[in-house]
Amino acid sequence: MNKIVTPKFGVGASVRRIEDNAFITGKGCFVSDVSPDGVLHGYVLRSPIAHARLKIDGLADARAADGVHLVLIGEDLKELGDLPCVVPQPQIDGTPPKVPPRRPLAEDIVRHVGEPVAFIVADSVNAAKSASELLDIDWQPLDVIVGSKAAMQSDAPVIWPEFGSNQAFEFGVGDKEATEKAFANATQVTELKIVNNRIVTNYMETRGCIGEFDGDTGRYTLTATTQGGHSVRGIIAGSILKIPESDLRIVTHDVGGGFGTKVFVSTEYVLVCVAAKRLGRPVKWIGERSDHFLGDSQGRDNVTTARLAMDADDKILALQVDVLADIGAYLNQFAPFIPFLGLTMSTGVYDIPLMYARAVGVYTNTLPVDAYRGAGRPEACFVIERLVNQAGIDTGLGPIEIRRRNFIPPSAMPYTTPAGRMYDVGEFDGHLQQALENAGWSDFETRAAESRSRGRIRGIGLSTYVEACAFAGSEAANLELNNDGTVTLLIGTQSNGQGHATSYGQVVADHLGIDLADINFIQGDTDRVKTGGGTGGSRSIPLGLPSVEIASKSLVEKIKKLAGAQLEAAEVDLELADGAVRVAGTDQQITLADIATGSTDPDETSASGLFEQTEATYPNGTHICEVEIDPETGVVTITAYTAVDDYGVMVNPLLLAGQVHGGIIQGSSQALMEYTYYDEDGQLLSASFMDYCMPRAGDFPWINFETRNVPSTTNMMGIKGAGEAGTIGATPAVANAIVDALHRAYGITNYDMPATPHRIWQKINSVT
């Protein structure tokens, strides 16, 4: 492992986020803070029924209501294209998935509660809501199907009759025939059915958008809460509005959390643009929390049957995984790719020579499901870590030895999995051992005895995970030296609260010898930043920072060349510090401001950087959770949590810890409390924070977090993505701890998330 020296700035320094002062003092700029002159307000009327034909009357009354400027329904938008699914991953037979049309507003049939059916624009939101009540909608209910298993029954109502069934796709990864032979020759087989519960992808700031149209230029401007405007622009312009990309500008200001859901193009983004053009005035829509629960894509929702084949020495011979993925009523933007991506990570950190993993996507009358923090990798990790844990129970080896016996050793790196993933480095037993020591694993029995003395049961569980992130690609960075001696950085990622300005700024400040406050950070404007891959898949720092590094070094060379000519000194004798270039060992210097003003060629005072990565990075680690359960109430309390992770080279340990803590809370919350519940009529019963449980600080102990880093060999700077990893390691660690407690006390070896008090109480009382 490499020791990193931490300078004032630069890679490895724990610099506090420079963005936070504005956020905590109310000086941030979110889309709700933006109000162009003459702005009107939009309201989306959503279906209260999960599946029905509809006919809308009362349009004249609604359009004539006080303060109303426009009422749009589906038939008013015939010229628009569909909201597309942009990654129709090929099925096993090579054909594309069955992708239904998805209109900006439902036209004849609604297929889930919350589907948009009308858009009302008025002087105020309240005026728009009042007008929506004048619409007389004739709903003719159709049969409803909820739940992937029910949707696959031969007599199930078919949501899209033209497809003949509710199956949307079938993917397969691995060698099916060889895997079946390995199972036939196995000494031991462990099997487990695993439910990965559906969750609402809650973030702090709900989505919002403002549409503007310039009649003179024919250009739209969309201000929206995105995770990157360039992909949003491409889809809205090319697929829906059917205009050149140059005729649409996307602006994103501060964003309060994204977690994948703000990557997607949502119907409101299109509606405000259309309305703005028709009215000649800006139109603003700010989503309420109910809009999020009923209108935004949701996460997870897999039912998986998984099997491990082992030999007489308890070495894993093969893995079988069968996933039933509920993808809702439509195929959302990346929806087919998420289960497929999960299949490719099925074997985790284990040396499993053979595998066959299959995923079937199923349409139901529920909100579409798409990428949510981790996007397929948390689902895959949960399966393999629960399954290996069960194998430890079945073989008697326990959770530690079963893992050690089957880890991919460092000597096997680089290692290609049977799904084609190439792990470049990894020392899995190293972080397992460190985590065991940090968590006090050897003293657990003492703590368990103390819990028993109080009528409680105690469990300890672990997960050893690996994920793929920062996938092959690039993110260009551009630097400009300004006349006042400051530097402007332009880059096409989009911070949703991660601290990009600080992380990128550390490298710029270190190379140019300036303060972080002297760096202007430009993101979120497709007119100013010409290209961008946005933020998702933990790509921003691993792909963006090397480009910033390249651009910084290039700009330093240009500055030294200009300074050398004016100081009459060799470039090798020059150094940058305190906003100036000086001759080392002397008092001769010239400020960056003087260098900038003295140049008439912009190319002399600007630089670009582009790092292209050809393989993903693979962060990994061990998480250990300890829980205490009250058998009389079923209440589960996390009493301790330990994480030891490998993120390669750490850019900012302080910001990294924040990302990890947040991810662990999200993953633990899914295991303990979050649950999206639809009844048999397709009504979302957990449609508000009154009914949907979210984590609070008091629900968790302090997280004991350390790193044991091995630099990536596929990344120029050795960095591995970190934004999703906490979520991936946490859910199985918590679940395995709960299972350990239940198994020790009652012989119970499985439970379905979330571990609500009622569910755990029922589980205990089913065997007592």
Read off the pLDDT of residues 584-610 as tens digits, 9 standing for 90 and up.
Answer: 999 999 999 999 999 999 999 999 999
Angstrom distance (rounded) from CA 143 to CA 145:
7
Tokens of 506: 């550390």
**pLDDT (tens digit, 9 = 90+) per residue, 542-552?**
999 999 999 99
The owner of tokens 């924040």 is 658
CATH 3.30.365.10 range(s) for the chain read: 20-28+473-613, 424-469+618-765
Q: Which of 209, 155, 203, 294 is nearest to 30 (CA)?
A: 209
Grade residue 768 by pLDDT with cuts at 50, 70 and 90.
confident
Count the helices and strands in the chain (H runs, E runs).
19, 30
**pLDDT (tens digit, 9 = 90+) per residue, 209-219?**
999 999 999 99
Backbone angles phi, psi at 511, to 5 degrees: -75, -40
Q: For residue 233, count other CB atoms closer than 10 A to its CB.
A: 22
pLDDT score, position 6: 43
User: Torsion-angle region of residue 143: left (phi > 0), alpha (psi -120 to 50) or beta?
Assistant: beta
Assigned fold of 20-28+473-613: Aldehyde Oxidoreductase; domain 4 (3.30.365)
Helix runs in 415-499, H state only = 428-439, 444-453
pLDDT score, position 7: 58
Do residues 733 and 602 lie in contact, with contact meaning Cβ atoms separated by under 8 Å? Answer: no
Q: What share of the chain in percent tops pLDDT 70?
A: 99
Do residues 380 and 421 lie in contact, with contact meaning Cβ atoms separated by under 8 Å? Answer: no
* pLDDT at residue 357 greater than cutoff 90: yes
- Find all residues with CB under 8 Å of 505, minimum gap 6, and list them: 9, 18, 489, 516, 519, 521
Do residues 487 and 516 lie in contact, with contact meaning Cβ atoms separated by under 8 Å? Answer: no
pLDDT score, position 724: 95
* pLDDT at residue 4 greater than cutoff 60: no
Q: Which amino acid is at 37?
A: D
**pLDDT (tens digit, 9 = 90+) per residue, 234-276?**
999 999 999 999 999 999 999 999 999 999 999 999 999 999 9
**pLDDT (tens digit, 9 = 90+) per residue, 565-574?**
999 999 999 9
Angstrom distance (rounded) from CA 729 to CA 241:
41
> Average pLDDT of the chain?
97
Q: What would the mean pLDDT of 17-29 be, rounded to a whole number?
A: 94
* Residue 299: exposure state from Cβ atoms within 10 A (0-12, 13-18, ≥19): buried
Tokens of 767: 């065997």
**pLDDT (tens digit, 9 = 90+) per residue, 390-439?**
999 999 999 999 999 999 999 999 999 999 999 999 999 999 999 999 99
* pLDDT at residue 15 greater than cutoff 60: yes
Length of the chain: 768
User: Torsion-angle region of residue 374: left (phi > 0), alpha (psi -120 to 50) or beta?
Assistant: left
Angstrom distance (rounded) from CA 726 to CA 644:
10
**pLDDT (tens digit, 9 = 90+) per residue, 553-568?**
999 999 999 999 999 9
Helix runs in 396-521, H state only = 398-404, 428-439, 444-453, 500-512
Angstrom distance (rounded) from CA 199 to CA 677:
9
- Find all residues with CB under 8 Å of 111, minimum gap 6, and list them: 50, 51, 159, 329, 330, 365
Q: Which helix (H) or strand (E) holds 53?
A: strand 52-57
Angstrom distance (rounded) from CA 438 to CA 702:
13
Domain boundaries 34-142+206-285, corresponding CATH code: 3.90.1170.50
* pLDDT at residue 5 greater than cutoff 60: no
Q: For residue 767, count other CB atoms closer than 10 A to its CB.
A: 10
Angstrom distance (rounded) from CA 685 to CA 438:
41
Grade residue 1 by pLDDT with cuts at 50, 70 and 90.
very low
Angstrom distance (rounded) from CA 709 to CA 730:
19
Q: Give the SS3 label for residue 581.
A: strand
Assigned fold of 424-469+618-765: Aldehyde Oxidoreductase; domain 4 (3.30.365)
Rg of the chain on CA atoms, in Å = 27
Angstrom distance (rounded) from CA 720 to CA 650:
8
Tokens of 640: 């301790």
**pLDDT (tens digit, 9 = 90+) per residue, 711-734?**
999 999 999 999 999 999 999 999
What is the Cα 450 distance to its own chain's centre? 39
CATH 3.90.1170.50 range(s) for the chain read: 34-142+206-285
- For the chain, the distance separating the N- and C-terminal CA atoms, rounded to the nearest angstrom, is 50
Angstrom distance (rounded) from CA 511 to CA 505:
10
